[in-house]
Amino acid sequence: MAGAHEAGNVSGKQKRRGPKTLIQAVFSLMDDVAELRKSAQFIADNIAKLSESAAGIDRHAELIASQITTLTEAAAGIDTSAEKIAHGANSIAATLPSLQRLAEVVEPLDNTVARLGWFVDRIPGGKRS
């Protein structure tokens, strides 16, 4: 039984460290904790910057959406104006044959009007002003 008891003590024993080793381990852990603190601070600072950037992106997205709405409304106005211009152009195109016919009728009368004016100028008391 003594052998079994000794085997339990050997396996249950932990390696003992000297005070110097423990102090070095504590200082090493303190250095690790300090590095973790710095890392946590760095992460917190960057999260704040990322939050500010996200807010800026939101503001710009709202501005872009507003400008898209304005441009869409302007495009609708351009479409309406283009339709009116097309209608006016079609109306002008429809009157062109009539204007051409009128020009054909008036052109021969041009000489007649000139002669009539010459004749009126020759009538006594019928001078044009």
Residue 10 has pLDDT above 50, yes or no: no
Instruction: Specify the 3-state DSSP secondary structure of 1.
Output: coil
Residue 108: inside a domain = no
pLDDT-derived band of residue 126, with 50, 70 and 90 as boundaries? low
77 domain residue, yes or no: yes
In a domain, 110, yes or no: no
| Number of compact structural domains in the chain | 1
| Beta carbons of 120 and 128 less than 8 angstroms apart | yes
Residue whose pair of structure tokens reads 């609708």 in the numeric block: 76
More confident residue, 1 or 121: 121
Burial class (CB in 10 A: 0-12, 13-18, 19+), 92: exposed
Residue 89 has pLDDT above 90, yes or no: yes
Report if residue 63 sits inside a domain: yes
Take residue 124 and report the two structure tokens written for it: 């006594």
What are the backbone dihedrals phi and psi of residue 127, each rounded to the nearest 5 degrees, phi first?
Answer: -60, 140
Specify the 3-state DSSP secondary structure of 18: coil
Residue 92 inside a domain? The answer is: yes
Confidence category of residue 15, pLDDT binned at 50, 70, 90: low
Residue 125 located in a structural domain: no
Task: For residue 21, give Cα distances in angstroms to 14, 32, 95, 121.
Answer: 15, 16, 108, 135
The more confidently predicted of residues 13 and 98 is 98
- Residue 6 belongs to some domain of the structure: no
